[in-house]
Chain A
Amino acid sequence: MRLNIGEWVEQGVDWLATYADGFFQVMSTGIEGSVDGISGLFLWPPAYVFIIILTLLAFWVGRWSLSLLTLIGLFIIEALGYWEPTMNTLALVIISTLLSVIIGIPLGIACGKMDRLSSIVRPLLDFMQTMPAFVYLLPAVTFFGLGIVPGVIASVIFAVPPTIRLTELGIRQVPHDMMEAASAFGSTSMQTLWKVQLPVAMPTLMAGVNQTIMLSLSMVVIASMIGAQGIGAEVYRAVTQLKIGQGFEAGLAVVLLAIIIDRFSQHSLKKRNTQKQGA
């Protein structure tokens, strides 16, 4: 006997592609427009002007070491000639992170409050994280066509689980007596959420968002296989043409971008906390 799950999935995908086409069109236009808008914004000033802006921003969120890292890292990327694809990638990462946060945090909060929902969502997340990305890349192409949009979708599917999981964890970790105190003083459940649960869960939640950022960055090479422009496409091209040196250069640009984004997000989180503590 053979299970025909594959056939069912194909039928399902076909059905969606036929009947939900309008919905996918709208989504596609929206995502493509925002990615293009952001990368256009980043590429609008000359590269060195934008590097200086980011360096100053780095000084504001972090310390001089972060701004030095930003300055040197971005300068190397520019000098390697990967400025434009890097900015495209950055736009892709920003949009997929934004989408992940918009989907992940409310879902994580809901899972933190509802055990039943949590027990449904958890295996789904396992599925999303372990299913090889190529497998859902194909249906994404069916729905959204080639280009940046299926790349964003694939990134979100792959990157949203940590935000959901860690938001849920953060909500569940709020000590019981704090919850009791909140209700003993007559908080509504919304007040408890906004004034107690979310602020207390914030560090855990932000760790999840940081993971999401890094995971969506790690999707850029895979996304380039379905036509998403960006630094991943450079890596992919170099690899398929067996250009070792070029591949290494493009890979280095990915690493530098990853390090800078990671430190940025960690520092902005820390800044929040120290502002709270030191005020």
Chain B
Amino acid sequence: MSIINVNGVTKIFGTQEQRAFTLLQQGWSRERLAKEKQATVAVNQVSFSVEEGEIFVIMGLSGSGKSTLVRMLNRLIEPTAGEIWLKDRDISKLNDVDLRQVRRKTIGMVFQKFALFPHRTVLENAAYGLEIQGMPKDERYKKASEALGLVGLNGWEDKYPDELSGGMQQRVGLARALANDPDVLLMDEAFSALDPLIRRDMQDELIALQQKMHKTIIFITHDLDEALRIGDRIALLKDGNLVQIGTPEQMLMEPADEYVERFVEGVDLSKVLTAAHIMRRPETVSLDRGPRVALQLMRDIGISTLFVVGKDKSLQGVVTAEQASEAARSGQSLQDVMTTDIPVVSPDIVLNDLFALSGEVKLPIAVVDPDGKLLGAIVRGAILGALAGNVPNGAIAEETEGVKPDAAQHR
């Protein structure tokens, strides 16, 4: 169910917003409006909806209007036109009192430069949103402490923001937003001011937090890697226009136009593509079959190894052509000759982490789910092929069906 529906939202900066908007609708270009009317179209008739409980990333370069767009969702910036539906209420039409209530109860926000209050302790910062609602001290400090616990800041309550590192300060920022227990969390370049290692940790923690708390998160970033890492879906903005919305995979594999293509071109595929992307359908033989069946299958398909699986598709081992013919000669079963000590990975491992493994082993790498069920196989050429841009289409199609239920772990 979608929790937010944005419909034709537009922001024009300038002295005659409405006039400029009329002209925009009449087909004036951004450039012409800027030149002749001194009106800047920051966000141009953008529509999208955000599902409950997803991390929706709005991505774009600086000047693309992403910060303006997110600020219109809680009306820190007044939209020139358009509707913003939060559940069944149009935020763009709320009066001041109702808007304040929505900001207090339903939408939390985290800022790029943390925007903590320097004269307040960590605890007082986290309790700010509750304090202005008039919640009694004991109660709001209790809730604020809980929120600080969620972000791992227990024991830091009495410190001041300037005594904390950047990463910790942003945890306070996050706790301040979480303390109100909002349904929606707006995060404006929340991790962009942090150094790369801390940033990764924060991304991981955000994902973990989101799985625990099921908040709907709208995350603004200019960093494609970040978007691909944390986003369930990504919206790409360019010059105030929405260029494409899709899952990280779709953005990479089916860029809507040249701009998206160029945008994703520089991405480090080894950190984005996972085992699930490049694995092929595994060739298997059931454990209860004899070695001769296995040999026949190998001959038919033209390969030299088969995965041996149980009735429930659970991976048991690998058998090679030599092992199978040895068994056939000596009358042994597949179980007696197969190799059980084989490389196994989960579908969400990124290629970067596969390199080391693929160098060591001769056998194809098996991709299994947490229950031990065989999902696919990775042959050695596939990793390099994927980095060169050749992702087997069939694998992707299969992946989008087969791995989707695991999407939560699939990062």
Number of interface residues of B (CB under 8 A): 31
Contact B103 A184 (CB under 8 A): yes
**Structural contact, A199 and B117, CB atoms closer than 8 A:** yes
Say if the beta carbon of A54 comes within 8 Å of chain B: no
Known: A180-B76, A277-B160. A186 touches B103 (CB 8 A): yes
Q: Check B109 for interface membership: any CB of A closer than 8 A.
A: yes
- B129: interface (CB < 8 Å): yes
CB closest residue in chain B, given A203: B119
Chain A residues with CB under 8 Å of B129's CB are 185-186
Q: Does any Cβ of B come within 8 Å of A146's Cβ?
A: no
Residues of B within 8 A of A196 (CB): 117
Q: Are B133 and A186 in contact (CB under 8 A)?
A: yes
| Contact digits for B104-129, partner A, Cβ 8 Å, 1 yes 0 no | 10011101110111111100000011
Residues of A within 8 A of B100 (CB): 186, 188
Q: How many residues on A have C-beta within 8 angstroms of the other chain's C-beta atoms?
A: 20
The reply to whether B112 and A202 contact each other, CB–CB distance below 8 Å, is no
Interface digits, A60-76 against B, CB 8 Å rule (1 contact, 0 not)?
Answer: 00000000000000000
What total of A-B pairs shows CB separation below 8 Å?
A: 66
Q: Judge whether A195 and B128 touch: CB under 8 Å.
A: yes
The residue on B at minimum CB distance from A192 is: B132
Query: Is there contact, CB below 8 Å, between A200 and B76?
Result: no
Residues of chain B lying within 8 A (CB to CB) of residue A175 = 113, 115
From the candidates A177, A184, A202, A276, name the one contacting B113 in the complex (CB within 8 A).
A177
Residues of B close to A276: CB separation below 8 A: 119, 160
Interface residues of A in 153-209 (CB under 8 A from B): 175, 177-178, 180-181, 183-188, 191, 195-196, 199-200, 202
What's the dominant secondary structure at chain B's contact region?
loop
B115 touches A181 (CB 8 A): yes
Per-residue CB contact flags for chain B residues 160-199 toward chain A (1 = under 8 Å, else 0) read 1000000000000000100010000010000000000000
Query: Are B76 and A185 closer than 8 Å at their CB atoms?
Result: no
Report A191 CB to chain B, min CB distance, Å. Answer: 5
Q: Does B101 contact A (CB under 8 A)?
A: yes
Q: Separation in Å of the A101 CB from the closest CB of chain B?
A: 20
Contact between B118 and A186, CB atoms less than 8 A apart = no
**A187 touches which of B107, B109, B132, B180 (Cβ 8 Å):** B132
Q: Is B36 an interface residue (CB 8 A)?
A: no
Q: Is the CB of A183 within 8 A of B117?
A: no
A177 adjacent to B115 (CB under 8 Å)? yes
B74: Cβ under 8 A from any A Cβ: yes
Q: B117 touching A185 by the CB < 8 A rule?
A: no
Are B132 and A186 in contact, CB atoms less than 8 angstroms apart?
Answer: yes
* 25 residue pairs A–B, Cβ–Cβ below 8 Å: A177-B112, A177-B113, A177-B115, A180-B71, A180-B111, A183-B103, A184-B107, A184-B108, A184-B186, A185-B108, A185-B128, A186-B100, A186-B101, A186-B103, A186-B129, A186-B133, A187-B132, A195-B131, A199-B117, A200-B119, A202-B119, A276-B119, A276-B160, A277-B160, A279-B158
Having A177-B111, A178-B117, A185-B176, one finds 5 other A-B pairs with CB under 8 Å, namely A180-B71, A185-B128, A186-B100, A186-B132, A276-B119
Give me the 4 closest cross-chain CB pairs, A-B, nearest first.
A186-B104, A186-B103, A181-B115, A177-B115
Residues of B at the A interface (CB closer than 8 Å) are 71, 74, 76, 100-104, 107-109, 111-113, 115-121, 128-129, 131-133, 158, 160, 176, 180, 186
